Amino acid sequence: MRIYGGATLGVICAVVVGCNASVDRPRIFYTNVDGTILHVDGQDMKVGNKAVHVFVEDQEVRVTFASARHIEAAIGPRAPGTYRVSICEHAQGCGPDDAFVVTVGVIGPHGPKGDAGLNGRAGATGPQGPAGPDGAVGPQGPVAPPFNPSAIKFYSKDDTIHGPQGFSEARATCDVGDVATGGSFEFAGESCLPPHNPFVFASRPAFVNQLNGPDSWDAIVTSLPAGCLFNVKVICMDRTP
């Protein structure tokens, strides 16, 4: 049921008051009003190209659609009540045998609000959105002091083992906090020459930044003869600012 133009209209019923048994008479099966449009379903309501005239009470209304089985007519706003409707072949109207009635009902009060329905299932994940605009440029950071290669200082430390020695270790150690950048070893003395060649097992950095200990250069030698000197040197970089 709907409300149009201030008039209350609803589903209607049609009661055939009477009709002639002739096949030229329309036979009405069903009628209703949708807003301000009257709908009539039946049979033999239009023959060929002949015009169809619809009257509500004694007022002709405009036919908007007509066929043998369905007619629509604009009846305008109507107050609730029962009305006589006629389908005629002539604009002058037709006899009472061609009339039927329609009842326009009143829309009742609004019912109470129903319970909320169940939540629907979550939809699929949408596509990846476009990338956002670039952020603003951050503030300028502090300027670093200029690099001064001459400020870097290197120095060396030595450790010497005097023969005769068996399996021995020599370790040259940088000052605490400084960095060992390299190292070396050398022999001194004629007794170091063949056939008395001592043997060096390893020459390597040692204790590099372990527990903040000093960096060192470590070397292991064996069979160091008497009069032979074994010297280990480490090159250190001074980290003092």
Query: CB neighbours of 162 closer than 8 A, spacing ≥ 6?
Result: 228, 229
Residue 17 has pLDDT above 70, yes or no: no
Is 140 within the bounds of a domain?
A: no
Q: What are phi and psi of 66, to 5 degrees?
A: -150, 135
Give the residue from 75, 104, 133 where a domain finishes: 104
For tokens 């706003």, what's the residue?
A: 77
- pTM for this predicted structure: 0.36
Taking alpha carbons only, the member of 16, 15, 18, 88 closest to residue 47 is 88
Range name among 73-82, 94-103, 158-167, 202-211 with the lowest pLDDT average: 202-211
Is 52 within the bounds of a domain?
A: yes
Provide the CATH number for the domain around residue 80: 2.60.40.10
Count of domains forming the chain: 2
Longest dimension (CA), the chain: 153
Confidence of residue 24 (pLDDT cuts 50, 70, 90): low
Range of the domain at 42: 2-104
> Three-class SS of residue 89?
coil
Confidence of residue 137 (pLDDT cuts 50, 70, 90): very high
Cβ-in-10-Å burial (0-12, 13-18, 19+) of 189 comes to middle
Provide the CATH number for the domain around residue 206: 2.60.40
Shared domain check, 7 and 94: yes
Euclidean distance between CA atoms 178 and 142, whole angstroms: 27
Give the percent of the chain with pLDDT over 70.
82
**pLDDT tens readout for residues 49-84:** 777 888 888 888 899 998 888 999 998 888 888 888
- Residue 172: what residue type? A
Contact indicator for 30, 99 with CB cutoff of 8 Å: no
Give the residue from 83, 104, 125 where a domain finishes: 104
Contact indicator for 157, 176 with CB cutoff of 8 Å: no
Shared domain check, 99 and 25: yes
Output the average pLDDT for the chain. Answer: 78
Give the residue from 104, 119, 140 where a domain finishes: 104
Euclidean distance between CA atoms 31 and 20, whole angstroms: 19
**pLDDT tens readout for residues 189-230:** 888 887 777 888 777 877 554 444 578 888 888 888 888 998
